[in-house]
Amino acid sequence: MALLGGNPSTQGIKLDLKTTTSVFEPGNLSVTCIRVETSNIASPPKPLLIVTPTIQGTYPVLLFLHGFELRNTFYTQLLQLISSHGYIVVAPQLYGLLPPSGIQEIKSAAAVTNWLSSGLQSVLPENVKPDLLKLALSGHSRGGKTAFALALGYADTSLNFSALLGLDPVGGLSKCSQTVPKILTYVPHSFNLAIPVCVIGTGLGDEPRNCLTCPCAPDGVNHVEFFSECKPPCSHFVTTEYGHLDMLDDHLSGCIGAISGYICKSGKGPRDPMRRCVGGLFVAFLKAYLEGQTGDFKAIVDEPDLAPVKLDPVEFIEA
């Protein structure tokens, strides 16, 4: 485990293992999944999967952008875990079979962001309210790069993001072949971001599945470089023994779902521990930086073995 900037202080925080590991298990809130099409009276700019608590309350909002050629529904189990801890998750389907240009994908994500203030409340359960002053942005794979680009201002949004999470973000095929816009500069701490960032990488993402395939998260454009270019406060967790798609649902529908199992190298064993690890890291980070509840996050940084899968390295640079 590498800790940059020193071990974050846990003085005054009582580390109850049951409490600090509970983020890796489903939370206490019941949740529901809501599909909202563009034809809905709320008129979202893209089809949405919304996973939300059903119990009365006001909850922070997480915008989650899917990976390259993937469906937003492929993340349902992961998003349900996150939502059960008290978050409204909005996952747009940014495109169909053919991905748009990188710039257009960023603009689509911005359009969904701008819709939240006028349309989100109308599609939520009764007495469930979004707190858009606590809005986090996240994405997986190409969607992770899109999330970074949106946070960096490549498209205008009417709302401000309070935190950013990149789940095995990918910026292209190689250092010499970035996707447009080319946001990686290869200069440490060069991202012009004033919000906390969490980067979650996979240990097998930079390895090809076989001799006929390419790595899904190649060296030079993957989580390592994204974290390197973040300013403090920033954190980096790597799920050493799992692959680029191992946080997806167990059963994926359609042709894309069937093909996805043959593209990226996967870890051995079931996906559930990986999903619980990723979901728990999301929850711990969001609790720390949206709600000021730092105990779980600091406990995981101090003791990575609390996670259900091996985390190495674990890096945290304080502000």
Check 168, 206, 296, 302 and give the catalytic one.
168
The answer to whether residue 141 is catalytic is: yes
Domain of 271, CATH number, reads 3.40.50.1820
Check 84, 141, 162, 235 and give the catalytic one.
141
In angstroms, the CA 224 to CA 150 distance is 19
Residue 121: its pLDDT value, please? 98
Indicate whether 150 belongs to any domain.
Answer: yes
Task: Average the pLDDT over 169-176 and give the result.
Answer: 97
The answer to whether residue 16 is catalytic is: no
Other beta carbons within 10 Å of 272:
12
Indicate whether 2 belongs to any domain.
Answer: no
Number of domains in the chain: 1
Mean pLDDT rounded to a whole number for the chain: 93
More confident residue, 160 or 3: 160
Of 127, 128, 146, residue with least CA distance to 137: 146
Indicate whether 7 belongs to any domain.
Answer: no
Residue 212: its pLDDT value, please? 87
pLDDT exceeding 90 applies to what percent of the chain?
Answer: 88
Indicate whether 38 belongs to any domain.
Answer: yes
Check 140, 223, 236, 244 and give the catalytic one.
244
Cα of 7 vs its chain's centroid, Å: 24
The answer to whether residue 244 is catalytic is: yes
pTM: 0.94
Indicate whether 257 belongs to any domain.
Answer: yes
What domain range includes position 29? 17-317
Residue 12: its pLDDT value, please? 38
CB-based contact 90:64 (threshold 8 Å): yes
Other beta carbons within 10 Å of 140:
30
Of 91, 202, 96, residue with least CA distance to 141: 202
| Token pair of 181 as six digits | 């816009």
| Token pair of 204 as six digits | 């097998």
| Token pair of 211 as six digits | 């001799």
Indicate whether 4 belongs to any domain.
Answer: no
pLDDT digits (tens, 9 = 90+) for 191-205: 999 999 999 999 999
C-alpha triplet 244, 148, 50: angle, nearest 5°:
70
Indicate whether 297 belongs to any domain.
Answer: yes
DSSP secondary structure string for all residues of 29-94: S-EEEEEE-TTSTT--SS-EEEEEE-SSEEEEEEEEE--TT--GGGGHHHHHHHHTTT-EEEEE--
Q: What are the C-alpha distances in Å from 94 to residues 38, 45, 105, 234?
A: 12, 9, 7, 27
β-partners of residue 51 are 33, 89
pLDDT band of 20, cuts 50, 70, 90: low
Task: Average the pLDDT over 93-101 and give the result.
Answer: 93
Residue 5: its pLDDT value, please? 40
Indicate whether 223 belongs to any domain.
Answer: yes
